[in-house]
Amino acid sequence: MRNLISPARVLFIGACLICCRPETEFEIPRPDCTAFGAQKISLENLKDIYQGNTMRIRDQLQWEGYIVSTDKTSNIFGEIYIQEKPADPGGGIVVYTDLLESHSLFPVGSRVAINLEGLYFGKSGGSYELGGAFPLFGTVTVGRLPASLVRKHLKVLCSEPVSPGATKVEIDSLSEQMLNTLVHIQQVEFVAAEVGRPFAESGQQTRRSLMDCRGNTLDVRNSGYSDFHSDSIPGGHGSAVGVLTSYRNQFELVIRSPEDLRLFDVRCEERFVKKSSDRILISEIADPDNIPEARFIELFNASDSLFALHGWEIRRFTNANTEVGSSVSLDDVQILAGGTFVLSAYPDVFEATYGFPPDLIVPRNGPADSNGDDSMELVDPFGNVVDSFGIPGTDGSGTAHEFEDGKALRRDTIVLASPEFRPSEWIIFNDSGGYGTLKQPQEAPQDFTPGIHPN
């Protein structure tokens, strides 16, 4: 005989299942202009409340800040990082919660208010923390705030979201004040042994190490459940953006996605290797007729890879002098494949004229400040002249390399440097003409193309 379930019993069981289902979905909070109506407190005053042990805040207080983290890629889970101001924040706090998909409720850049009354407040490794109570060996520490209580303690304010600024800093200049805020770590790369490995082992929290060229290191904490955990660690040098946290009193970085990493330059060990190339050449020299301070000199990398010019220099021979009149070191210069690099002696005038800053500011009366009758040499680390414009010892006035009140522009078809000046490789404009040059003074900005080659 079959066991039959009556319709009434089906309704009863269904009702019980609905009642027992955990609350995992929430209505997205609407922006609130009034917040909680409690007394506002600054981050500095909030920190003063802490007396050395985790405590429950019982006063009616609220603190406001800006969201800088996201769990969208699942690399951050159960942690909402909030800094006091969108830029130059002066500090931040982490809120622990078991709320899922918090990024949909609290997008990056949102200004939020926190109702502090009833929250537990503590400090660990220099990091200030808010959340629920978590018993540990007879004491209470800060744990995750239940999702059902999030709306009671966090509200998005009606201010327009902003793009939070990251504090630019190098590894050896990090400080506790930057904890729980967005930082932009300069001049770093992943250690060589980790390049090509996954960001994290599947299902495991994994730490990888960034290093600067002086040997300082900073761990990067990655989740084995993140969307990008199986992606390969990039091998270049550059910068990394993320939230600064701490673990066992050591700083560590948490990135929000691989886009937070800008590691496209050559690595430390390659940055200081001296090497030559016939694919680095002078591509434009400018002496505008209307704005002399808008002069510049431009280099071009005709190769298919980034090139670091460690040990290189540009020399200027003034008028008919056979001795070097001035030179500019290119030690810290790197040029992307197919890219340009622009030097100027008057950066403010240059930017006002062309709409962007020069790549390198150099002294006046040097290679980037020629009045049109000088010669230039591009020299590699071994003292070899790689490329040249004009003939040292010959005044350019009335010659094939005069560009007074005009410009010298390398032809688009030239991709190899030449240690000897070849007028046929150039289009030269000036105020006198002759010797294959064009009598056509040039005016800035319209007649010049700094940063663009081929033209």
Give me the pLDDT at residue 18, please.
Answer: 35
Q: Read off the pLDDT of each residue in 260-270 and give the average, rounded to a whole number.
A: 92
Pair of tokens at residue 322: 């056979």
pTM over 0.75: no
Pair of tokens at residue 353: 């004229």
pLDDT confidence bin for 5, thresholds 50/70/90: very low
Query: Is the pLDDT assigned to residue 455 strictly greater than 90?
Result: no
Q: Which of 129, 114, 150, 93 is nearest to 38 (CA)?
A: 114
Query: Is the pLDDT assigned to residue 375 strictly greater than 80?
Result: yes
For all residues of the chain together, what is the average pLDDT? Answer: 92
Pair of tokens at residue 267: 């690595």
* Cβ–Cβ < 8 Å for 319, 391: no
Give me the pLDDT at residue 278, please.
Answer: 98
pLDDT digits (tens, 9 = 90+) for 284-312: 999 999 999 999 999 999 999 889 999 99
Q: Read off the pLDDT of each residue in 144-153 and give the average, rounded to a whole number.
A: 95
Q: Read off the pLDDT of each residue in 75-86 and give the average, rounded to a whole number.
A: 96
Query: Is the pLDDT assigned to residue 346 strictly greater than 90?
Result: yes
Q: Read off the pLDDT of each residue in 33-59 and give the average, rounded to a whole number.
A: 92
Candidate from 71-80, 109-118, 132-141 with smallest mean pLDDT: 132-141
Give me the pLDDT at residue 272, please.
Answer: 82
What is the percent of the chain where pLDDT is above 90?
Answer: 85
Between 149 and 5, whose confidence is greater?
149
Query: Is the pLDDT assigned to residue 421 strictly greater than 50?
Result: yes
Give me the pLDDT at residue 428, please.
Answer: 98
What is the percent of the chain where pLDDT is above 70?
Answer: 93
Angle at 174 between CA 171 and CA 179, to 5 degrees: 125
pLDDT confidence bin for 20, thresholds 50/70/90: very low
Sign of the dihedral through C-alpha 441, 445, 447, 451: positive
Pair of tokens at residue 213: 């060229």
Candidate from 34-48, 53-67, 105-119, 249-263 with smallest mean pLDDT: 34-48
Q: What's the CA gap between 28 and 323, in Å, rounded? A: 73
pLDDT digits (tens, 9 = 90+) for 312-330: 999 999 999 999 999 999 9
Q: What's the CA gap between 164 and 148, in Å, rounded? A: 28
Give me the pLDDT at residue 17, please.
Answer: 36
Give me the pLDDT at residue 21, please.
Answer: 35
In DSSP notation, 175-196 reads -GGGTTSEEEEEEEEE-GGGTT
Q: Read off the pLDDT of each residue in 193-212 and give the average, rounded to a whole number.
A: 97
